[in-house]
C-alpha cells in the first residue's frame, strides 16, 4: 500500500516545477497599461432635479414637519413625533436622504431631463449652467452632498434614540446643507 506514495511524488514535483517555471517566465512588462475599468453598474438616468423632487425634498419635509409649533385660537401647540409609526416613518426619511446623498455623489448624472428649463432663470442657473459649474468643480459638490449626508446620519441617530432636541437641532443643519449647495451651484449670485 505505502508503495503508491513514492511513485506519485516525482510527478507531483515535476508538475509543480513546471508550473513554477511557467509562472516565472511570464513576461513582466511594466509598460502595459492598467486594464480599462469595467463599465459602471449604476443606472444614473434619474436626474439631480428628479432626485431633489422625488427623494431628497419630500423626505426632508417629512423630517421638518415632524417637529412644529402651531399657534392658533387654541394657543400654542408643539407637535413632536410620538407613535412607533411616526418614528418609523422618520427613520425611512433619514435613511432615504443618506442614500440620496450617495446618489448625488455618483458621476454621469444629468442635472435635469433634456430640454427642461429652469423655473426662475433670473434667480437660478439653468440646468445647462449648473452642468458647467458642476463639471468645473465636482469636488465641492461631493463635499456638499457629504454635508447633507452627515446631517441625515445625525438625524438617524436622533430618531433611533428618540431625541426630539437633537431632531430639531439637526433638522436645522439639514436645511443649512441644502442651502449651502443651492447657493454654490444653483442660485445666481447676489440674491
What are the backbone angles phi and psi of residue 46, rounded to the nearest 5°?
Answer: -75, 125
Distance between CA atoms of 54 and 43, rounded to whole angstroms?
16
Residue 148 contacts ligand HEC per CB under 6 A = yes
Considering only residues 59 through 118, tell me which ones interact with ligand HEC, judged by CB under 6 A: 60, 104, 111-112, 118
Q: Which residues of 134-147 are buried (b: 16+ CB within 10 A; e: fewer)?
A: beeeeeebeebbeb
CB of 77 to ligand HEC, least distance (A): 25
Examine residue 52 and tell whether it contacts ligand HEC (CB under 6 A): yes
User: How many residues of this chain interact with ligand HEC, rule: CB under 6 A?
Assistant: 24
> Under rule CB under 6 A, which residues in 116-135 are in contact with ligand HEC?
118, 127, 130
Site for ligand HEC in 152-181 (CB under 6 A): 174, 177-178, 181
Binds ligand HEC (CB under 6 A): choice among 45, 68, 138, 182: 182
Cβ atoms of 47 and 112 within 8 Å: the answer is yes
* 111, 49 contact by CB (below 8 A): yes
How far CA 31 is from CA of 23, 25, 27, 38, in Å, comes to 19, 17, 11, 21
Residues found near ligand HEC in the complex (CB under 6 A): 48-49, 52-53, 56-57, 60, 104, 111-112, 118, 127, 130, 141, 144-145, 148, 174, 177-178, 181-182, 185-186
Amino acid at each position: 500500500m505505502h508503495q503508491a506514495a513514492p511513485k506519485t511524488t516525482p510527478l507531483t514535483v515535476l508538475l509543480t516545477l513546471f508550473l513554477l517555471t511557467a509562472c516565472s517566465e511570464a513576461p513582466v512588462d511594466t509598460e502595459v497599461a492598467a486594464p480599462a475599468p469595467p463599465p459602471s453598474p449604476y443606472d444614473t438616468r434619474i436626474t439631480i432635479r428628479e432626485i431633489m423632487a422625488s427623494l431628497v425634498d419630500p423626505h426632508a419635509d417629512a423630517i421638518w414637519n415632524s417637529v412644529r409649533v402651531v399657534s392658533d385660537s387654541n394657543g400654542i401647540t408643539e407637535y413632536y413625533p410620538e407613535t412607533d409609526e411616526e418614528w418609523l416613518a422618520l427613520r425611512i426619511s433619514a435613511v432615504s436622504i443618506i442614500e440620496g446623498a450617495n446618489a448625488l455623489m455618483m458621476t454621469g448624472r444629468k442635472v435635469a431631463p433634456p430640454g427642461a428649463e429652469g423655473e426662475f432663470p433670473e434667480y437660478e442657473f439653468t440646468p445647462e449652467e449648473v452642468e458647467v459649474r458642476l463639471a468645473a468643480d465636482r469636488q465641492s459638490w461631493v463635499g456638499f452632498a457629504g454635508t447633507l449626508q452627515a446631517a441625515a446620519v445625525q438625524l438617524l441617530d436622533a430618531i433611533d434614540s428618540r431625541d426630539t432636541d437633537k431632531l430639531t437641532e439637526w433638522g436645522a443643519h439639514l436645511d443649512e446643507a441644502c442651502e449651502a449647495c443651492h447657493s454654490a451651484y444653483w442660485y445666481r449670485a447676489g440674491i
